[in-house]
Amino acid sequence: MLRTPDGLTALRRRSVNRILVLHGLSSFCYGMVFPFIGIHLAAQPDIGTAGVAVYYGVSGLANLAVSLLLASAAVRFPRHALGITGLLLWLSCFLLLTQGDNLVTAAAAAVLGGAGQGCFMAAIIPIVNSLVPPEERRQVFARRYQILNATLAGGSLLAGLVLTVFSRDAITWLLVANAVGYLPVALALGLARKVPEIAEPTETAEAGGTTGTDDGEPAGKSTGAAVHAFGTGMLIKAALGAALFQFGAYLIGYSQFEATAPLVADHLMDTGIGWISVMLTLNVVVIVSAQRPITKLLEKRPEEHGLRIAVALWAAGLLVAGLTAFGPGPVRLTGLLAYAVLFAVGECAYSCSFHPWLISKVPDRELTRASALCNSMMGVGMFFGPSIGVALISLDHAAWVWLPLAGLCALVALTTLRRRTRTTTSAPTDPGLVPAG
């Protein structure tokens, strides 16, 4: 049966929506366990608190190793197979954690989980991008971020209720539920493999020549030489700005909000656990409510502009928190909540700008490798970021944590100054794909 252009558009739209919805389901399931993985492992006599640090360290190293391997020119996998492999590795990780009563088992689970993250994160952006025309990228990636945040928070709230009613032994069953939650996403990626992708425009010679069929699977003999010619050096040159921004965003931005901010609130501000939960919940509520208007506001502007706005908002939030840290308790708390709000609005600008910016820098067939490179930098940033926060906390005043971090945000903004994009990326190739929601 012949497919009309409108029929292909509808088919791609359904495929994208299915991936986003089921990815959201897996995020909901992950939300049920991610705050309690450390608690579960620390409760095991042969693991303990030190074993929790080993688990996260090994997971981070495995993610970094796989991401760098995928970013090299030596290893290429079809993106759909890579994504499904990552999901199955994640599933194996969490099933193994249910039996993780010793350090060896926990470390093995960490290797599976870190490798799974490296595979999936390298694949999911190219898969979604292959089904979305350039003019709709910002809306779709912003909606993905919105869905993942809302479902992650919903899963965490449900898990809190479950563990309130039942004992902590229920964490084991939550781990099983999370593992099962990856299967529908794997099915969605498998179905997406059969959907005709949007054809990549002919690349300029600088971008790497002619096109291939799926991340390095050449369309013909002449294409194979061009694909091989886009080596690691060319990839790094093309995607260096995006990789550096991702490193800085997670080193100074995300890791500080997720790891340092709760520690500062608890150790230096005496806010109590309840207000930390309020801060995190407020962050998610703002993301869900502000994502759409922020995306519409930025959709006609260059991606770098959105990223600079994101960093400026993060710096403003840190500055407000730092200045209010000199005031009395209610003022300090107000500054902390203002930081959560400004950081969330910055996240909205980041989510609709970063991946379209990365996509504009490399040929579509190299996007899996570029995504892997940026994912490796994200992992390094998350690995080292908390240590910066801990070092600043040792200065024994909240202001001397927030204010230096605000200054460091300027260095992150510098990574967006040099604009280097493919000249053909902005040309629409398949108008009409309008994301639902």
* pLDDT value for 3: 59
Is a pLDDT exceeding 60 seen at residue 429? no
What is the separation of C-alpha 114 from the centre of its chain, rounded to a whole number of angstroms? 14
CA distance 249 to 257: 11
Phi, psi of 435 (to 5 degrees): -65, 145
Tell me the per-residue pLDDT of 317-339, one tens digit each, with 9 for 90 and over: 999 999 999 999 899 999 999 99
Helix H or strand E segment including 260: none
Q: Which two tokens stand for residue 388?
A: 């910066």
Tell me the per-residue pLDDT of 12-62, one tens digit each, with 9 for 90 and over: 889 999 999 999 999 999 988 877 787 788 788 888 877 877 888 888 889
Task: Specify whether the CB–CB gap between 43 and 168 falls below 8 A.
Answer: yes
* 3-class DSSP state of 319: helix
Is a pLDDT exceeding 90 seen at residue 134? no
Is a pLDDT exceeding 70 seen at residue 435? no
Q: Which two tokens stand for residue 117?
A: 């993250």
* pLDDT value for 273: 64
Cα 71 to Cα 370, 375, 412: the distances in Å are 6, 10, 22
* pLDDT value for 200: 60
Q: Which residue has the higher pLDDT, 23 or 375?
A: 23
Is a pLDDT exceeding 60 seen at residue 220? no
* pLDDT value for 201: 55
Is a pLDDT exceeding 80 seen at residue 410? yes
Tell me the per-residue pLDDT of 176-215, one tens digit each, with 9 for 90 and over: 999 999 999 999 999 998 888 876 654 433 443 333 334 4
Is a pLDDT exceeding 70 seen at residue 253? yes
* 3-class DSSP state of 362: coil
Mean pLDDT in residue range 126-153: 87
* Alpha-carbon dihedral sign for residues 159, 164, 167, 168: positive
C-alpha angle with apex 13: 11 to 19, nearest 5 degrees?
105
Is a pLDDT exceeding 50 seen at residue 228? no
Task: Specify whether the CB–CB gap between 336 and 118 falls below 8 A.
Answer: no
